Amino acid sequence: MSIRTLIVDDSAVVRQVLSAVLGAAPGIEVIGAASDPLRAMTLMQRIWPDVIVTDIEMPGMDGVAFVKQVMSTRPTPIVVCSSLVGPGARAGLEALAAGAVAAVAKPASGLKRYLEDDSGHIVPAVRAAAAGTARRPQRPAARPVDPARTPHRAERRIVAIGTSTGGTQALERVLTALPARPPAVVVVQHMPEKFTAAFAERMNALCAVEVREAVDGDRVRDGLVLVAPGGRHLELLSDPLAGYRVRVFDGPPVNRHRPSVDVLFRSVAKAAGPDALGVIMTGMGDDGARGLLEMRRAGAATVAQDEATCVVHGMPKEAVAIGAVEREVPLPAIAEVIRNHG
């Protein structure tokens, strides 16, 4: 079945080239192209796309507002393709925070040639965005967790968070509510390469707790939040001298993602066992569900953001379906769960 794709861009050249590039890709069908979000929403009333590719700077309604409108009406994978995307570009971060699943840069000049050459990025971005909505068969329920779990030791407490679509806003809500010295936190947020550093810097400026992008070998400690770099996996390792440290590494995508929540959660299950808390939050797809199940089976506490407060309930829903979640909590309560971990 083809991926029905809608293109939204005020440039006729960009609409024409994107339509040609995406329309020529196997498995992708361009169902329409609109010059602005208002026209796009009219088209969407007739046929709803599987993926939307949108610019940011457009007349009538900008791309960030359009992303928010779509996510509040009927959450749909959105790929931002804009010259306002790049390291430190606030508009790109705002679009991702609003719920866009990927961002592809385009230059201010030489657009036609660039987009034709850049099909190696835009086509996989559309396919990955569509694949993120795929349903997975339910798996057997988890084995019961021993209620007499080993007590947490303060120096071994660790919190692992995994999130995707809508996660940047949700993480901001959680991290800004933490005190200056909560349990150590490691985070995977599905986000394109180079955006995670800007996101971590922004969080560090807003939060009492220290937030930064993880570097291979970083020591994990209370009062520090480490965010996986975009385009690289993050693992937690047990260190007999430092307690924990992280490994940041290249590798194939897992569940179509790099970094992958499953990679992080599985490493936390192995390294920390019952000293860990796993938190799965808003996002499409099922990345993190099986890793959270491994954490629960290792004796960790596990929670999921509830459906009412998720932008997209996909990842938490899949985790609940396979028995990986002890309890579901609304977004405003997640910071308190983290503060009480120990």
* Tens-place pLDDT, residues 141-188: 333 433 333 333 445 799 999 998 888 889 999 999 999 889 999 999
Is there a catalytic annotation at residue 287? yes
d(CA 319, CA 273): 18
Among 16-25, 104-113, 175-184, 207-216, which stretch is predicted with the lowest mean pLDDT? 104-113
CA dihedral 143, 337, 161, 213 (to 10 degrees): -150
| Residue range 3-131, CATH number | 3.40.50.2300
Answer yes or no: are the C-beta atoms of 156 and 272 closer than 8 Å.
Answer: yes
pLDDT in tens, 235-266: 999 877 668 999 999 999 998 899 999 999 99
Its pTM stands at 0.67
Active-site hit among 190, 233, 313, 341: 190
Q: Is the dihedral of CA 253, 200, 104, 56 positive or negative?
A: positive
Q: What's domain 154-339's architecture?
A: 3-Layer(aba) Sandwich (3.40)
* Set 35, 82, 164, 267: catalytic member: 164
Helices within the chain (DSSP H only): 12-23, 37-46, 63-73, 90-98, 111-117, 119-131, 167-175, 195-206, 261-272, 289-297, 314-321, 331-339
CB-CB neighbours of 180 under 10 Å = 10
Question: Catalytic residue at 119?
Answer: no
Extents of the domains making up the chain = 3-131, 154-339
Q: Which residue among 50, 267, 287, 341 is the active-site one?
A: 287
pLDDT of 1: 79
- pLDDT tens for 271-327 read 999 999 999 999 888 999 999 999 999 999 999 999 999 888 889 999 999 999 999
Q: Residue 164 catalytic? A: yes
